[in-house]
């Protein structure tokens, strides 16, 4: 807990995101205990009390979800967290699937609650087991190092103090604190890939390969995450030095309009950087990056003369123009 707060800059106020499950309930108990201890060291060596509230997000995806949310809020208040808010969200059933849609809705709600309450961080109860499952899912989907780097202990507003703990440890905390957690039935529902990874694939790997599989996958995430951070930063610096925004007859700024990149400079980049620079150009224009479409954009670099356009999701197209320029345009 202390390491996560220190990495986040010692926020004076935090919110715990709690579903009522064992992981987030154990986290809530730990945060409440930490807050009761009084002053904690802050930036510059000073100290301040840690104020801790909680948010329960009701996704309305299961019958009785409102009752579970209200019961969880009652438990959190009993732990001493204040204020405790129940927030109801509407999950848009589209895009990448119900899990991704629920996560987007949840994170938007948590960010709004943090802003409204003045909280400097939102604490999530993800464990080492969640990290290992995320790496396996990334491998199955053919994801790159950013996705395989999985979750970070601190990313922006979000803190995950329990990434070094096993799921069984959080159950032990609940038992020790006399807490009765709620077990989400979707965690055992074979219709969801993550549920199959949790209930079938991970136990199979542990049985066949021996103990330590989850820890090994979590180490993989840490190593790949560090590499991805460095590559992403290098790509941002390279992109900033190469990109020109707008054209001779258009005044635009980053975030929309047109991006031009020199083809010779792009071709001279290592592939790991080149792909990231192209992805930054696409996202800068509001587009969505996919492996197949980014590959099609990159193949324009090998053509001669004018070529394209290549369409990218999010109303972005790319074409090879005269004078050795790659041009990406938003059509919003």
- Specify the pLDDT at position 249: 42
Torsion of CA 41, 22, 147, 123, to 10 degrees: -30
DSSP string, 162-180: TTTS-HHHHHHHHHHHT--
Question: Do residues 244 and 266 lie in contact, with contact meaning Cβ atoms separated by under 8 Å?
Answer: no
91 or 40: which leads in pLDDT: 91
Give the predicted TM-score (pTM) of the model: 0.81
pLDDT in tens, 164-175: 999 999 999 999
- Specify the pLDDT at position 250: 40
pLDDT in tens, 276-298: 999 999 999 999 888 899 999 99
Domain boundaries, the chain: 2-227, 243-330
Phi, psi of 32 (to 5 degrees): -60, -40
- State the average pLDDT for the chain: 89
Assess whether pLDDT exceeds 70 at residue 46: no
- Specify the pLDDT at position 251: 41
Is 189 annotated as a binding-site member?
Answer: no
Q: Which CATH superfamily is domain 2-227 in?
A: HUPs (3.40.50.620)
Give dist(CA 325, CA 82) in Å, integer. Answer: 56
Give dist(CA 116, CA 281) in Å, integer. Answer: 33
Is 317 annotated as a binding-site member?
Answer: no
- Specify the pLDDT at position 255: 46
CB-based contacts of 328: which residues, under 8 Å, 6+ apart? Answer: 258, 259, 260, 261, 281, 282, 285, 287, 297, 312, 316, 317, 318
Is 19 annotated as a binding-site member?
Answer: yes
CATH architecture under which domain 243-330 falls? 2-Layer Sandwich (3.30)
pLDDT in tens, 213-271: 999 999 999 999 889 999 999 999 999 999 999 753 444 444 458 999 999 999 999 99
Share of the chain above pLDDT 90, in %: 64
- Specify the pLDDT at position 115: 95
Closest CA to 159 of 98, 114, 96, 197: 114
Is 20 annotated as a binding-site member?
Answer: yes
Is 22 annotated as a binding-site member?
Answer: yes
pLDDT in tens, 58-77: 998 888 999 999 999 999 99
Is 210 annotated as a binding-site member?
Answer: no
């Amino acid at each position: 807990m202390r390491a996560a707060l220190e990495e986040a800059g010692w926020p004076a106020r935090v919110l715990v995101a709690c579903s009522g499950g064992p992981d987030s309930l154990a986290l809530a108990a730990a945060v409440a205990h930490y807050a009761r201890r009084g002053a904690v060291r802050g930036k510059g060596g000073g100290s301040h009390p840690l104020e801790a509230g909680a948010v329960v997000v009701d996704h309305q995806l299961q019958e009785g979800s409102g009752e579970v949310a209200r019961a969880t809020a009652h438990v959190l208040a009993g732990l001493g967290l204040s204020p405790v808010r129940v927030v109801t969200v509407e999950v848009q059933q589209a895009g990448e699937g119900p899990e991704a849609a629920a996560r987007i809705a949840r994170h938007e709600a948590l960010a709004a609650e943090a802003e409204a309450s003045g909280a400097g961080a939102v604490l999530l109860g993800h464990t080492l087991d969640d990290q290992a499952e995320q790496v396996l899912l990334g491998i199955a989907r053919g994801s790159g190092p950013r996705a395989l780097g999985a979750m970070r202990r601190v990313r922006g507003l979000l803190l995950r103090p329990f990434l070094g703990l096993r799921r069984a440890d959080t159950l032990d905390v609940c038992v020790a604190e006399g807490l009765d957690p709620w077990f989400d039935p979707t965690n055992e529902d074979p219709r969801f890939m993550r549920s199959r990874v949790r209930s079938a694939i991970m136990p199979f790997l542990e049985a066949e390969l021996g103990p330590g599989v989850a820890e090994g996958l979590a180490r993989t995430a840490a190593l790949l995450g560090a590499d991805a951070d460095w590559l992403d930063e290098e790509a941002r610096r390279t992109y900033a030095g190469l990109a020109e925004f707008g054209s001779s007859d258009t005044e635009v700024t980053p975030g929309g309009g047109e991006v031009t990149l020199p083809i010779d400079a792009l071709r001279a980049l290592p592939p790991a950087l080149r792909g990231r620079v192209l992805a930054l150009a696409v996202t800068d224009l509001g587009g969505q990056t996919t492996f197949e479409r980014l590959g099609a954009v990159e193949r324009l670099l090998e053509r001669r003369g004018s070529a394209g356009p290549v369409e990218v999701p999010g109303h972005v197209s790319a074409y090879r123009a005269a004078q050795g320029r790659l041009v990406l345009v938003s059509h919003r």
